[in-house]
Amino acid sequence: MVVKAISKTAVIGAGSWGTALAKLLADKGEEVLLWGHDPAHIDALRRDRENRKYLPGAALPETLHPVENITEISECQCVVMVVPSHGYREVFTSLIPHLKDGTYLVSAVKGIEIGSRQTMCQIMESELERVGKSQSMHVGVLSGPSFADEVSTGQPTAVTIGFRDKPSAEAVQHLFSTDFFRVYTSTDIIGLEISAAMKNVIAIAAGISDGLGFGLNTRAALITRGLAEITRLGVTLGANPLTFSGLGGMGDLVLTCTGSLSRNRTVGLKLGEGRTLSQALAEMTMVAEGVKTTKSCFNLAAALGVEMPILEQTYQVLYKDKDSRAAVQDLFQRRLKEELCGEVGC
């Protein structure tokens, strides 16, 4: 099998995850540009050869080049988007004039835009179509259980890369694969993106449960029933049900709901302990995508008529000031049902 080689990559977004992915590639000897919107931050990366703000302790190889001029991506064959969902469209639109035909565009962002209710790949496809470039680009997603800190230190990790066509998925698969970072391929972009977005919402719910002092039984119930909700939404949008039992589905959900490094679980934990949302977010140094995603997914589920009780109660806690304990009680007082009453559960 001959797989197309990718010679130069740009990572857009110099937070913890963007830096970890850029370092992963640069450690392989790949030429990587790491773009960030803050010139002072980029200067610090160049000077310190370390992202002391978001990924302290991880040395940046010489083949990793921090840049603030977005036009420098014009020679890159792969562009990896790692910016928050609320600013994703604006940043991506600014990239389009500098993309050459045939570029692999990879979203490594786990969220859904509030206004449009679009996933990140849908945003890229719609913006490319608007300027007549949709046929000349390859759009995909990287997803799976992967904390930036552990990837940056070489902890064994497995993820999934999704493109509509197998050759594109395989090209990016080979680009990212290392001795410790194993990449599987998929053609189910929407399944991977819905899983990636919604697992953050369920992680907030799991954190709330932990903050309230509930035990492992409760957390297991939230994860399992959360997966049922994610699957219902994804299948309604055309996803393959099997995707939700894979790395981008169950794998990422378990990690984010249980891991101490999870930003979204941390937000939920603070809420369960009695803090307000504004207080919880003020104590965070990095973005917890699940907060905004709760609103966008709530609106999306309502528009599609998909029943998602955990999502609904999390939305009520975050945006309607509902008491966390009351939200848990309401979940358990719902009408009794059969667990498996269809392809994706009840």
The pLDDT score that the predictor gives to residue 343 is 57
DSSP designation for 96: G
Residue identified by tokens 């009680």 is 329
Range of the domain at 89: 8-187
260 pLDDT above the threshold of 80: yes
From residue 222, give the alpha-carbon distance in Å to each of 62, 65, 214, 314, 336. 44, 42, 11, 12, 16
Q: What percent of the chain has pLDDT over 90?
A: 92
From residue 85, give the alpha-carbon distance in Å to each of 90, 157, 313. 10, 24, 22
Same-domain check for residues 23 and 163: yes
Specify whether the CB–CB gap between 297 and 201 falls below 8 A.
yes
> What pLDDT band is residue 39 in, cutting at 50, 70 and 90?
very high
From residue 83, give the alpha-carbon distance in Å to each of 111, 164, 219, 284, 287. 10, 22, 29, 17, 10
177 pLDDT above the threshold of 90: yes
The pLDDT score that the predictor gives to residue 340 is 82
pLDDT in tens, 289-329: 899 999 999 999 999 999 999 999 999 999 999 999 999 99
43 pLDDT above the threshold of 80: yes
> What pLDDT band is residue 7 in, cutting at 50, 70 and 90?
confident
Number of domains in the chain: 2
Same-domain check for residues 206 and 181: no
Q: Mean pLDDT for the chain?
A: 95
Specify whether the CB–CB gap between 67 and 41 falls below 8 A.
no
Same-domain check for residues 110 and 214: no
Q: Which residue has the higher pLDDT, 288 or 30?
A: 30
pLDDT in tens, 50-69: 999 999 999 999 999 999 99
The pLDDT score that the predictor gives to residue 4 is 76
> What pLDDT band is residue 287 in, cutting at 50, 70 and 90?
confident
> What pLDDT band is residue 20 in, cutting at 50, 70 and 90?
very high
Rounded to 10 deg, the angle between the 16-27 and 166-176 helix axes is 80
72 pLDDT above the threshold of 60: yes
- DSSP-derived secondary structure for 137-198: -EEEEEESS--HHHHHTT--EEEEEEESSHHHHHHHHHHH--SSEEEEEES-HHHHHHHHHH
Instruction: Among 152, 187, 222, identify where a domain stops.
Output: 187
Domain harbouring 15, CATH code: 3.40.50.720
Give me the mean pLDDT over the 37-49 stretch: 97
Same-domain check for residues 218 and 169: no
Same-domain check for residues 167 and 53: yes
Three-class SS of residue 79? Answer: strand
The pLDDT score that the predictor gives to residue 99 is 96
Same-domain check for residues 177 and 106: yes
169 pLDDT above the threshold of 70: yes
Same-domain check for residues 201 and 314: yes
CA distance 223 to 227: 6
Give me the mean pLDDT over the 173-202 stretch: 98
Q: Which of 23, 110, 199, 292 is catalytic?
A: 199
> What pLDDT band is residue 2 in, cutting at 50, 70 and 90?
low
The pLDDT score that the predictor gives to residue 5 is 82
> What pLDDT band is residue 346 in, cutting at 50, 70 and 90?
low
Q: What percent of the chain has pLDDT over 70?
A: 98
Q: Is residue 342 part of a domain?
A: no
Catalytic residue list contains 199: yes
Residue identified by tokens 């001795």 is 179
CA distance 246 to 144: 9
Instruction: Among 144, 169, 187, identify where a domain stops.
Output: 187
Same-domain check for residues 82 and 143: yes
Specify whether the CB–CB gap between 234 and 306 falls below 8 A.
no
The pLDDT score that the predictor gives to residue 13 is 98
